[in-house]
Amino acid sequence: MSTFKFTITDIIDQTDGSALVVFNIDQKAKQEIKQLYGWKRWNTKKFQQLFITAIDSYVTIKKQEKENA
């Protein structure tokens, strides 16, 4: 799998303390993601969930590594 390229275009602080991150994904990355997950067309909501799950998994792994160190 290649490296996906995206550009962060804005970070918007939310009233609940979280942040909304806005970014653009290049067309090649979109095509690869669609192929990898069997999507017929680009689906922003599915991608958002996929991205959030990936970040959450990464943070969980890093916390576990820190606890086990």
Delimit the domains of the chain by residue range: 27-69
* Signed CA dihedral, 20, 43, 24, 28: sign only: positive
1 or 30, higher pLDDT = 30
Binned at pLDDT 50, 70 and 90, residue 23 comes out as confident
State the Cα–Cα distance between residues 9 and 26, nearest whole angstrom: 13
Beta-ladder partners of 20? 12
What mean pLDDT is predicted for residues 22-34? 91
Would you state the pLDDT for residue 2? 58
In the chain, pLDDT over 70 holds for what percent of residues?
Answer: 97
Average pLDDT of the chain, as a whole number: 90
Q: What is the pTM of this model?
A: 0.71
Contact call for residues 27 and 4 (beta carbons, < 8 A) = no
Instruction: Tell me 11's DSSP state.
Output: E
What mean pLDDT is predicted for residues 33-42? 94
